[in-house]
Amino acid sequence: MFTTDQWQTGKKVIETLNQHGFEAVFVGGAVRDFVRCKIANDIDIATSALPSEVKSIFKRTVDLGLAHGTVLVIENHVPIEVTTFRTEGQYTDHRRPSDVRFVQSLEEDLKRRDFTMNALAMTAEFQLVDLFDGQRDLHNGIIRTVGEPSDRFKEDALRMLRAIRFSAQLGFSIEDTTLGAIKLCANDLAYVSVERLTAELEKIWLSTHLEKGMTYLGQSQLAKHMPGDFSFEDEKWGYLGNPQNVLVCWAFLCLLQEKPNGSEVATVFKLSNDIKQQINYLVNATQIRCERIFTIHDLYQFEENILVKAEHLARVLCSDIQHMPTETIVQRKQALPIQSIRELVISGQDVMEWFNKPGGPWLKETLSQIELAVLHQKVANNATKLKEWILNESNSEI
């Protein structure tokens, strides 16, 4: 595991800090992933050096929040976050400490971390520093807070949702006292910003153990305190499988409502306009699919990825429909004579010339008449044929 560029560079950064007389270790998710023999997302280093000292030691650095003690060190093109050992002052808003104090002790730094598995540290010689039995919990697949769980959740309510997110990502169980404390503190979720809730929720949905996460969300009572009035507790989450796709999950959340409304979900969870639009398409396509097999028009109207996702959702939500394999949907879609109006071989200019008329509302109508005729194979997508057909059609209309 230590052969990748990232780890080698991290080791070098630690050794350099050590040579300058500072303590430095790997910390956080990277160590957790290392012990589990998994590839780490990013590598974090904690050190006794102050941010200014870190900056003076390394050539290329970027300030990432000096108040929190984080400097990004770039070595061999690999960015590594180096954060000064710190403790946190009083939590006054259930989310953020009122102040952060830099300290010289690694133990103090590890104590403020959320879960035992996240409070492991490792030296450049790959020796683990395990002050809270993090290895034991990792091996047993247990999520447990460092210290008294209700105190830790009172300090920072986001940790409750992080516990659920890690259970979904790792397939771990939440230790009983920790889960009990979440139930007690669940209404503090109101202190967490919607953006952070959305980010954690999406991480749960992208996890391999989505069902476990959603079950814990209900069991821990956090579901009841999520914004809006959505069905986070519906047992159908258990049938969704493992889509690893947030669009599918947002649409599913909508469709579990009596009156599905993608825009409402997007507003409550502060989603981008782009995803809002995609949710609306997917909700719409799924509702159609629950009523009928996709028609030529449906296949034309929706993008392939929406059709395939709608088929999946319809299967979960409307169990009586006959399943259509993805390949069949894709083949049918691809077999359409055109995929969009842009694929017509003629343009509005051609049509104006044929009719010898300037543009106007009639032109848009005529083009869409041509589009439909080509789509339904009444006429080939060929300039001569199209001209003949449309002039004929308009004559017969008169």
DSSP 145: B
159 binds ligand ATP (CB under 6 A): yes
Pick from 41, 242, 244, 392: which binds ligand ATP (CB under 6 A)? 41
Which residue number, 198 or 215, has a Cβ lying nearer to Mg ion?
Answer: 198
User: Which long-range contacts link 50-54 to residues 24+ away (Cβ below 8 Å)?
Assistant: 50/84, 50/102, 51/84, 53/20, 53/22, 54/17, 54/82, 54/84
CB of 164 to Mg ion, least distance (A): 17
209 binds ligand ATP (CB under 6 A): no
Pick from 16, 18, 23, 29: which binds ligand ATP (CB under 6 A)? 29
- Rounded Cα distance between 289 and 245, Å, is 20
Residue 118 site contact among ligand ATP, Mg ion, none (CB < 5 to 8 Å, cut-off depends on kind): ligand ATP
Pick from 158, 160, 204, 313: which binds ligand ATP (CB under 6 A)? 158
Sole window of 67-75, 136-144, 153-161, 320-328 interacting with ligand ATP (rule: CB under 6 A): 153-161
Which residues in the 13-42 window bind Mg ion by CB under 5 A? Answer: 29
Taking CB atoms, the residue at the shortest distance from ligand ATP is 29
DSSP 244: -
Contact 94, 155 (CB under 8 A): yes
Angle at 47 between CA 41 and CA 53, to 5 degrees: 115
Which residue number, 204 or 285, has a Cβ lying nearer to ligand ATP?
Answer: 204
The three-state secondary structure class of 282 is helix
Which residues in the 83-122 window bind ligand ATP by CB under 6 A? Answer: 113-114, 118-119
Contact 219, 193 (CB under 8 A): no
For the chain, the residue count is 398
In 3D space, the residue among 30, 32, 33, 27 whose CA is nearest the CA of residue 42 turns out to be 30
Taking CB atoms, the residue at the shortest distance from Mg ion is 29
Pick from 10, 28, 213, 260: which binds ligand ATP (CB under 6 A)? 28
Angle at 135 between CA 132 and CA 137, to 5 degrees: 80
Number of residues that bind ligand ATP (CB under 6 A): 11
Residue 156 site contact among Mg ion, ligand ATP, none (CB < 5 to 8 Å, cut-off depends on kind): ligand ATP
180 binds Mg ion (CB under 5 A): no
Task: Extract the tokens encoding 159.
Answer: 């940790």
Task: Extract the tokens encoding 6.
Answer: 């990232």
**Binding residues for ligand ATP (CB under 6 A):** 28-29, 41, 44, 113-114, 118-119, 156, 158-159
